[in-house]
């Protein structure tokens, strides 16, 4: 809503804050949006390591029961792979560590 300015003034910072809250609740759409915003630097400082971490989390859900979730996961996986091509080994390892950390933090969520 805030990212596109639908019914409200466009505000990427607010979009990030809301997407991040949803992402932490294990919402795949929120996780994807957080990845997008980190990748683009809209509403938050551009950070390809964190973008990759969030895309990895979404991409790990390619076997989700809902077709829309599977499609989003496949898209995230492809984006993650393209980002990795531009990263150093240290950045890749950091992204993997963050993916694990974020995943563990969300493991108590039931969404």
Note down the domain range covering 96.
12-106
Tell whether 2 is covered by a domain: no
Tell whether 68 is covered by a domain: yes
**Overall number of domains in the chain:** 1
Please check whether residue 24 is in contact with residue 60, taking contact to mean a CB–CB distance below 8 angstroms. Answer: no
19-48 pLDDT per residue, tens: 999 999 999 999 999 999 999 999 999 999
Tell whether 88 is covered by a domain: yes
pLDDT given at position 64: 79
pLDDT given at position 1: 54
Please say if the pLDDT value at position 108 is more than 80: no
Tell whether 1 is covered by a domain: no
Confidence of residue 63 (pLDDT cuts 50, 70, 90): confident
Rounded mean pLDDT, 65-91 = 93
Tell whether 82 is covered by a domain: yes
CA distance 58 to 30: 10
Tell whether 5 is covered by a domain: no
CA distance 17 to 43: 9
- The vertex-28 CA angle with 11 and 63, nearest 5°, equals 155
């Amino acid at each position: 809503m805030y990212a596109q300015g639908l019914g409200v003034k466009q505000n990427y910072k607010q979009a990030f804050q809301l997407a991040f809250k949803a992402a932490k609740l294990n919402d795949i759409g929120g996780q994807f949006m957080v990845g997008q915003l980190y990748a683009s630097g809209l509403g938050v400082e551009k950070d390809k390591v964190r973008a990759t971490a969030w895309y990895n989390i979404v991409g790990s859900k390619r076997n989700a029961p809902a077709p829309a979730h599977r499609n989003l996961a496949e898209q995230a996986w492809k984006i993650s792979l393209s980002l990795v091509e531009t990263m150093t080994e240290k950045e890749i390892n950091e992204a993997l560590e963050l993916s694990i950390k974020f995943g563990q933090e969300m493991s108590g969520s039931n969404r």
